[in-house]
Amino acid sequence: MEQGKTNLASFRNAWYRPGGIVKRMLWTLFSSLFFRHSLAIGSYHKILILKLFGAKIGNGVIIKPSVQIKYPWKLSIGNHTWIGEHVWIDNLDRVSIADHCCISQGALLLCGNHNYGSPEFDLIIHPIVLETGAWVGAKSLVAPGVIMHSHSVLTAGSCATTDLVAYGIYQGNPANLVKTRIIKSR
């Protein structure tokens, strides 16, 4: 059987229109000035800028230094959510983060990938949803199309390629269910 070959010279994604060129250029400038460095610019100012660019953000959100967000107009964040240092939200598609979520240091939310079976290496995008109380551990990856259901946990360094059940704790690459999250009442 003869195998085909990848031909990146024929790659085309003209169908993908994430926003006007001026909007994207302005966001790149603001992002580099206020987000992609370790200076301690407060969450309040970052949230104002994100909202100016179309993000929907609730109350009590904390955004730490050196956070990278591809397109704020494709982002919604609920109330009292934390986003840690060096998080990268590569939201080529919608990313919806509900209330009381935690995205720990160095985590990657990745909405895009490529079709490795296509010679043209076609772009594939899918949204990501984090439901209430979901926790993405440090240095973890959430792949395109994943839904982290209510209070699910993706442990440090793990890779979620399929949906995570409510209150499930997942570990590994690919992430597997290892136990159930129990939250004790006070």
The predicted structure's pLDDT at residue 15? 87
Separation between Cα atoms, residue 145 and residue 62, nearest integer Å = 25
Instruction: Report the first-to-last Cα separation within the chain, whole angstroms.
Output: 64
Handedness of CA 79, 137, 134, 69 (dihedral sign): positive
Global pTM reads: 0.92
Q: Do strands 159-160 and 62-63 pair parallel, antiparallel, or not at all (unpaired)?
A: unpaired
Q: How far apart are CA 36 and CA 152, in angstroms?
A: 28
Domain regions of the chain by residue span: 19-180
Could you give the residue ranges of the DSSP H alpha helices within the chain?
21-34, 43-52
* DSSP label of 10: G
- Per-residue pLDDT, 14: 84
Paired tokens of 127: 């949204």
What's the confidence (pLDDT) of residue 33? 84
Residue 75's φ and ψ, nearest 5 degrees, are -130, 135
3-state DSSP call for residue 147? strand
Asked whether 94 and 126 are in contact (CB, 8 A), the reply is no
Spans of the chain, pLDDT less than 70: 1-2
Q: What is the CATH number of domain 19-180?
A: 2.160.10.10
